[in-house]
């Protein structure tokens, strides 16, 4: 995909070697009936094209690139989940929790994600059915 086209799309950037992050990507892909999201590892070339260097170094942060606007940590997760629609719209209720408090818990999980969930030796390779979702 061309960079120009990507700037109008919704791209979820994640730590490509984190099992928890990859599990989140798998869960969203399996529920994304509208194909609203694309996914790219923070370690990849798409991240290098679309994100500033300081964001690419934050491997403990999910970044949601929503048609040119960046959302980080818990705000990214809530945006993604609510956009899945259906029962996932209930996650919108979490917006009443102040961002710093949501991110406090997010950061605890992010800090311990490798110890609790493990990590891969390399970024995920897409299955044939995932190829249209995953960017380099």
pLDDT (tens digit per residue) in 32-43:
988 999 999 998
Burial profile 96-130: b = 16 or more Cβ within 10 angstroms, e = fewer: eeeeeebbeebeeebeebbeeeeeeeebbeeeeee
Domain-embedded: residue 87: yes
Distance from chain centroid for Cα 90: 19
pLDDT at 4: 45
**Gap between the Cα atoms of 90 and 122, Å rounded:** 34
Residue 102 has pLDDT above 80, yes or no: yes
Quote the domain boundaries for residue 115.
3-130
Sequence-separated (6 or more) residues with CB below 8 Å from residue 125: none
Within a domain: 121 = yes
How much is the average pLDDT of 70-98? 95
The model's pTM is 0.86
36 falls within a domain: yes
Task: Give me the mean pLDDT over the 21-38 stretch.
Answer: 90
CA–CA distances in Å: residue 58 to residues 11, 27, 43, 87, 126: 16, 22, 10, 30, 23
- Paired with 18 in beta bridges are 119
Residue 135 lies in a domain: no
- Tally the domains of the chain: 1
């Amino acid at each position: 995909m061309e960079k120009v086209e990507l700037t109008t799309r919704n791209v979820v950037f994640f730590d490509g070697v984190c099992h928890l992050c990859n599990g989140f990507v798998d869960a969203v892909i399996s529920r994304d009936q509208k194909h609203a999201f694309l996914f790219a590892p923070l370690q990849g070339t798409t991240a290098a094209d679309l994100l500033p260097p300081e964001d690419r170094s934050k491997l403990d942060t999910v970044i949601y690139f929503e048609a040119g606007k960046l959302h980080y940590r818990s705000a990214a997760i809530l945006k993604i989940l609510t956009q899945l629609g259906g029962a996932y719209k209930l996650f919108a209720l979490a917006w009443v929790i102040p961002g710093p408090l949501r991110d406090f818990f997010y950061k605890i999980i992010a800090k311990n994600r490798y110890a609790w969930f493990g990590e891969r030796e390399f970024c995920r390779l897409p299955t044939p059915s995932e190829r249209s979702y995953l960017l380099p």
